[in-house]
Amino acid sequence: MSKMNIVLLEPEIPANTGNIGRTCVATGTRLHLIEPLGFRLGQKELKRAGMDYWQDLDVTRYMNWEDFLEKNPGAKIYMATTKSKTNYTDVKYEEDCFIMFGKESAGIPEEILVKNQKNCVRIPMNHDIRSLNLSNSVAIVLYEALRQNGFSDMEKQGNLHRLSWSE
Domain boundaries, the chain: 5-148
Half-sphere exposure of 1 (CA within 13 A, CB side): 8
The separation between the first and the last C-alpha atoms of the chain, rounded to the nearest angstrom, is 43
Residue 156: what pLDDT? 73
What is the model's pLDDT at position 129?
A: 87
Average pLDDT over residues 86-115: 97
The tens digit of pLDDT for each residue in 117-140 reads 999 999 999 988 888 999 999 999
Contacts of 72 (CB under 8 A, 6+ apart): 32, 98
What pLDDT was estimated at residue 130?
Answer: 85
The pLDDT mean for the chain works out to: 90
**What pTM was computed for the model?**
0.89
> Residue range 107-114: average pLDDT?
97
pLDDT > 70: percent of the chain = 90
Binding site members for S-adenosyl-L-methionine: 102, 123, 131
What top-level class would CATH report for the domain 5-148? Answer: alpha beta
Q: Confirm if 18 and 50 have CB atoms less than 8 A apart.
A: yes
Question: Is 51 a residue whose pLDDT tops 90?
Answer: no
Q: Which residues are annotated as a binding site?
A: 102, 123, 131
